[in-house]
Every structure is written in C-alpha cells, then in structure tokens.
A and B are shown apart, each in its own frame.
Chain A
C-alpha cells in the first residue's frame, strides 16, 4: 500500500516537472482569483466590522457571523451560487466572498471592541477626537486580531477556490476536480501545489502581520494562526 503510494508520488513529481507550464498557469489563475475575492471581502467586512466594534453595537450578529460562516458547507454555497448565477466567474466570486467575509467581519468587530478600555480612556483624556482615537489607538491595537481574521479568510479562499472549479472556476481546482483528464499523478501534483500555495499565503500574511504590529505589541506572532483561539 505504502510502496504503491510512493510510486504515485514519484510520478506526480515527474508530472510537476513535465507540466510545469500548465501548473504555473493554473497557480497564477488561482492566486488572482483568490486575491481578488479576498480584497472584495476585506473591503466589505473590515469597514463594517470596525464601525460596529467602535460603536460597540450589533455584537450578537457580528460575533456569531463567524459561526454561521463555519457552518456553511463550501459545496452548498457553490451549488446555490450555480442555481442563481449559472456557471462562471461570478459564481466563483460569490462563493469565495460569502465564505471569506464572516471570519474577517467577526475578527474586525471583536478586535476593535476588545481594545483595552483604559487605553481608549487615556487617549480621550489626552484630548483626542473619536476619529483620532480610532486611527491612532484602537486600530493599531486591533491589528493583530484583525490580521488573524484575514489570514483565516485567505486560507478559506484558497481552499474554496479549489472546489469552486466545478462551477466554472479556474486555477488549480480545475485539475483537482478532473480526475479523468489528469489521472492520479496529476491530481497529486496539483494537490501539492495548492497546499504549498495555501501555506505560503498564510506564512506571507504572517510576515505582514508581524511587520505591521506596533513594536510595543510584538507578542509572538505564530506561523499558521487560524482563527480557532480557545473560546469559552
């Protein structure tokens, strides 16, 4: 069993070498689609989450939206998108954005909402206006947790884009859902590529997170920090 598997893995490495143009093309497509969807999701969820958190409103919804997002099976979102939007790019974007918004929204909300009240008070005491408080105190302190949400969303998006290929998506998923055309070696090769892509994306965002975290807060930013902090 294991020996046969080794055969396949070696063959898939051969596939990666032989078909590197194809894999490169698909990887780039995957990155473009994922990045686009992530940016759209950030544009929707971050302002909304920050606004709600700053005003300390809508907590029930904002906190639970991530739970709802986690409960939505990828395949169902894609299938529902297919019903209303047909096959193609719109459906894929729809599914990706729907699944990326919840973790970003919840994290943005909680991040701002939970900023140390003392720090905010001190800032107000120093005479800062509410918007100065937001930009100079709340946001920098909220950045780590906000980034956790974005990293989680990024990983979700890369994973979902893979599956969305059945509804006309492009990218490495096209190979992964086409068992017949590419054989096991091709599928394993694509699986390796997309896994590396996901790990690289998370790692890169981690580096960015460390870079953007204000010096006073550089608590250890772990590599791979999906949003599953212990919740009680």
Chain B
C-alpha cells in the first residue's frame, strides 16, 4: 500500500517536471516554427556603438511608419558577430560600412581606390551570398587615429606615419583594430612595436584624456572630435579605405516587401550627410539623448514620418 502512494507521488512529480520541460522547450522552439511559415521577418540588428543605435532607430522607425512590422536587436557586437547573425537568419538587415564589408566580412586585402568602387565590389560579393545592398549614405565614417593636441605638439605629429617618432607607443582601440590595422600600420607607415590596449567597456577618449594611452583608434564621425582637445592624424595613403553606410539585407526582404521597404530606406540614407550624422552622434554620445528620440526628431523634421 505504501508503494502505491510512493508511485503516485513519483508519477505526479515526473509529470510536472515533464510538463515544465515541454513548456520551456515549446517556448524556445515556437518563435522559430512561426518564422518558417510566414514571410521573412524584418529583424534589424546593430553593432555596439551610438552611431549604429541611431542608424538602427532611423531604419526601424521609418519602416514602422510605413506600416511594416520590425523586430529590433540592438547591441549585437562586432562585425564578425553581426555578420554571423545575418547568415544564420537571426538578423535580416543591418547597417554596415562599405570598406568594412570588403576588409572584414569578405576578407579582401586590397581595397578599391574609390568610394563607388568599394560599394560596387561589396554589393557584388553580397549578392553571391543571398544578400544585397541598398543605396549608400553620403557620409563616411572611417577609422582614424587621434592623439591629444598636447601629444601632437610634443612629438610633432601630423600624419599617421609620424607616430614612428613616439617611443613605446601605447594605442587603445576596439579589439578589431589590432588585427585589421596594426599590421598595415607597420607595413605601410613603418609604425611598429605598438603596445595595444583593447577597449572592452570604456571609450578610447576617456583613456586618452586620462593619459592612459598616447593614441587611440577613433572614427571620423565621433562627436568628441568637435572639441579642439583631440587631433586626428592624416592618413594620405587611404589605408583606412572608404566607409559609406549601406543597409545589408537578405534578398528575400527585397522581393517580399518591395519598394515600400527599399525606397523608404533609400530615402533615409540619402538624408545622412556628414553634418547630420555628427549632429545626431553628438546628441546621443555627448548630450546623452536616447537614440530613439534623436532618430524620431530627425525623421519628423525631414518629413519621413
């Protein structure tokens, strides 16, 4: 008799556990199952810095204003990570820089000598993979190296090659910088033996102003550069390439959503001049406005929403 009660209790316990496991499994699998049956969802992803948040919000809000349903995954990470997400379908659209497309996503070592050439080469490569590019922005956001104005006067630094004059040069930048640019910095400009600090959570400008490093990898649309505290070193050989922004998206999105999607995003992109992008970056990075509200104001002022 006792054994019967034991068995019942055990059965009840197992039933509950199985139920929980099924619910958990179902909850995890359901979104994937749903997606297979319907049209390709618009899932916008962004990398992990303010300019990307602004671009993502601009695209998201513009498409939503046209009645399209958009999922939004901010802050995914570096190029490699977000491209992996694109290929696996976790993300179906994201804003990318044309030079990065060639250098990082497709691992080309020689880059075209013009912005248009870069765009065309990247587009051709993406189309072989089932993706494509929409129109590119007027502005470019290129890599660069900045130093404090005081450092520049101390060593007489004008171009990137002048960094050879700095003994035991310390440089901080996003981790990708080390593999992407340091070798070329050595081979094209002779700047060798750089002590590299990868940025994990703190901005390179903080490190520069706190005196922790002498040089920092920056981007030409960083609003901090408005201040006269920093000097961007010239880079005459165009090693850093050309970097307009174009939305990378799955070809299915173009065929399924047509011009509602493509012309909206093209319109948004055409508005993004260098001045506009820097102004929006300043609002988010320096004035600490939220990317969503900045994008909203910009789209409204330009009659997109």
Are chains A and B touching in the complex at the 8 Å CB cutoff? Answer: yes
Residue of B77, B201, B212 most packed against chain A (CB within 10 A): B201
By beta carbon, the residue of chain B nearest A179 is B77
Shortest CB-to-CB span from A196 to chain B, Å, is 23
Complex alpha-carbon distance, A82 and B207, angstroms = 13
Q: How large is the interface on A (under 10, 10 to 19, 20 to 34, 35 or more residues)?
A: 10 to 19
Chain B residues with Cβ below 8 Å from A86 are 210
B81–A179 contact, CB under 8 A? Answer: yes
By beta carbon, the residue of chain B nearest A79 is B201
B202–A168 contact, CB under 8 A? Answer: yes
Q: Interface 1/0s, chain A 6-32, versus B by CB < 8 A?
A: 000000000000000000000000000
Chain B residues with Cβ below 8 Å from A165 are 200
Q: Interface 1/0s, chain A 150-189, versus B by CB < 8 A?
A: 0000000000000001111000001001111111000000
Complex alpha-carbon distance, A177 and B198, angstroms = 10
Our pick among A166, A167, A168, A180 for the contact of B81 (Cβ within 8 Å) is A180
Asked if B176 CB lies within 8 Å of chain A CBs, one says yes
Query: Contacts A86-B210, A87-B210; is A181 near B198 (CB within 8 Å)?
Result: yes
Complex alpha-carbon distance, A182 and B81, angstroms = 11
Chain B residues 171 to 217 lying within 8 A of chain A, measured CB to CB, are 174-176, 178-179, 198, 200-202, 206-207, 210, 212
Chain B residues with Cβ below 8 Å from A167 are 201-202
Query: Contacts A178-B175, A180-B174, A181-B198; is A87 near B78 (CB within 8 Å)?
Result: no
B198–A178 contact, CB under 8 A? Answer: yes
Complex alpha-carbon distance, A165 and B80, angstroms = 22
Q: Interface 1/0s, chain B 133-163, versus A by CB < 8 A?
A: 0000000000000000000000000000000
A183–B212 contact, CB under 8 A? Answer: no
B176–A180 contact, CB under 8 A? Answer: yes
A180–B175 contact, CB under 8 A? Answer: yes
B80–A180 contact, CB under 8 A? Answer: yes
Complex alpha-carbon distance, A178 and B48, angstroms = 12
Chain A residues with Cβ below 8 Å from B80 are 180, 183
Chain A residues with Cβ below 8 Å from B179 are 181
Shortest CB-to-CB span from A96 to chain B, Å, is 17
Chain A residues with Cβ below 8 Å from B174 are 180
Number of interface residues of B (CB under 8 A): 17
Chain B residues with Cβ below 8 Å from A174 are 200
Chain A residues 192 to 221 lying within 8 A of chain B, measured CB to CB, are none
Chain B residues with Cβ below 8 Å from A82 are 202
B200–A166 contact, CB under 8 A? Answer: yes
B212–A178 contact, CB under 8 A? Answer: no
B200–A177 contact, CB under 8 A? Answer: yes
Complex alpha-carbon distance, A183 and B212, angstroms = 26
Shortest CB-to-CB span from A175 to chain B, Å, is 10
A87–B202 contact, CB under 8 A? Answer: yes
Shortest CB-to-CB span from B85 to chain A, Å, is 12
Shortest CB-to-CB span from B253 to chain A, Å, is 24
Our pick among B178, B201, B210 for the contact of A166 (Cβ within 8 Å) is B201
Chain B residues with Cβ below 8 Å from A181 are 175-176, 178-179, 198
By beta carbon, the residue of chain A nearest B201 is A166
By beta carbon, the residue of chain B nearest A87 is B202
Complex alpha-carbon distance, A181 and B202, angstroms = 15
Chain A residues with Cβ below 8 Å from B207 are 87
By beta carbon, the residue of chain A nearest B84 is A184
Residue of B81, B178, B200, B206 most packed against chain A (CB within 10 A): B200
Complex alpha-carbon distance, A182 and B179, angstroms = 11
Shortest CB-to-CB span from B255 to chain A, Å, is 28
Chain B residues with Cβ below 8 Å from A168 are 202
Shortest CB-to-CB span from B73 to chain A, Å, is 15
Complex alpha-carbon distance, A181 and B198, angstroms = 8
Chain B residues with Cβ below 8 Å from A177 are 200-201
Residues on A lying within 8 angstroms of B by beta carbon are 82, 86-87, 165-168, 174, 177-183
Give 6 nearest A-B pairs by CB, closest first.
A181-B175, A166-B201, A180-B78, A180-B175, A177-B200, A166-B200
Q: Can you add 12 more A-B contacts, CB < 8 Å, to A165-B200, A174-B200, A179-B78?
A: A87-B206, A166-B201, A166-B202, A177-B201, A178-B175, A179-B81, A180-B175, A181-B175, A181-B176, A181-B198, A182-B175, A183-B80
